[in-house]
Amino acid sequence: MAQGEASVPVQYDYEVISSKPHDQGAFTQGLCFADGVLYEGTGLYGFSSLRRMKLTGEDLQIRLLPKHFFGEGITVFKDTIIQLTWKSKVGLVWDKKKLELIRLFSYPGEGWGITHDGRHLIMSDGSSMLFFLDPDRFELEKKILVTENDIPLTRLNELEYIHNEVWANIWQENRIVRIDPGTGKVTGWIDLEKLVAEAAPDGNDNVLNGIAYDADHERIYVTGKRWSRLFEIRIKDVLQPAR
């Protein structure tokens, strides 16, 4: 590639390794894997929750959020789970083992997705920006503009950090994008339209939303809001330039 030439995102193929039950009452906003179990954050006023569950779909523990909170993305950071809320500008910090609320913190704007790179919390707010926060003080340290083919990419939603990339659901799209956290450029994407058709019930809100990564076994899990299934997928070869 010549110096100064824009990189073109590529589309990745994938295969489904397994399909497991998923609670169709769960309005999935965040999904994480740690210690052999899944953690899921759900939304909707009066129904928002944080839950720990087996890969079989069996709930092990559920904590309901106060009714005035609309739960959003979650991430497991050390011994805690950090959960965002949509419009309340309030984040919740939970003890990972007991699922007990430890503290609250505030942030400007809306909360959508959250993950971390081991040093920073990385947060989205539905715009084309990613925000990097100090994990102890929850203060903004930097932010980057996410672009695809040099065009800002908006509606960044649920996030997961995988192999030095930020993977993101795009609200109301059937794909996951892979973002270089240094430049903000989308380097590739995966089209999961077939999984949407298989597992999502009718309704505009029941979109692809949920990415969890098991780093120890190199497993990637995906699901969506009110989906009937949780899928383990494996990324395969590049299919073609994305656009």
pLDDT of residue 2: 40
What share of the chain in percent tops pLDDT 90?
89
Q: Bigger pLDDT: 237 or 52? A: 52
Whether the predicted pLDDT of 185 surpasses 80? yes
pLDDT of residue 59: 87
Whether the predicted pLDDT of 6 surpasses 90? no
Computed over every residue of the chain, the mean pLDDT equals 93
pLDDT tens track for 28-81: 999 999 999 999 999 999 999 999 999 888 888 999 999 999 999 999 999 999
In the chain, domain spans: 10-241
**How does DSSP assign 48-106, residue by residue?**
-EEEEE-TTS-EEEEEEPPTT--EEEEEEETTEEEEEESSS-EEEEEETTT--EEEEEE
Whether the predicted pLDDT of 4 surpasses 90? no
pLDDT of residue 188: 95
Q: Please name which of 98, 99, 59, 61 lies closest in space to residue 83, comparing C-alpha atoms.
A: 99
Residues 14 and 192: their CA atoms lie apart, in Å, by 9
Residues 236 and 134: their CA atoms lie apart, in Å, by 34
Identify whether the C-beta of residue 106 lies closer than 8 Å to the C-beta of residue 97. no
pLDDT of residue 136: 92
In this prediction, residues 146-165 reach a mean pLDDT of 96
What share of the chain in percent tops pLDDT 70?
95
pLDDT of residue 5: 47
pLDDT of residue 202: 87
pLDDT of residue 3: 43
Residues 129 and 147: their CA atoms lie apart, in Å, by 9
pLDDT of residue 241: 59
pLDDT of residue 139: 95
50-64, 72-86, 108-122, 140-154: the lowest-pLDDT one: 50-64
For 94, residues 6+ apart whose C-beta sits below 8 A from its C-beta are 50, 63, 80, 81, 82, 83, 100, 101, 102
In this prediction, residues 220-225 reach a mean pLDDT of 96
Residues 102 and 79: their CA atoms lie apart, in Å, by 11
Residue 69 to residues 6, 146, 216: CA-CA distances in angstroms? 42, 28, 33
In this prediction, residues 225-239 reach a mean pLDDT of 91
Both tokens of residue 3? 């110096």
- If one counts every other C-beta atom within 10 angstroms of the C-beta of residue 235, the result is 17
pLDDT of residue 217: 92
* CATH node for 10-241: 2.130.10.10
In this prediction, residues 161-180 reach a mean pLDDT of 96
User: Is residue 39 packed enough to be buried (19+ CB in 10 Å), middle (13-18) or exposed (0-12)?
Assistant: buried
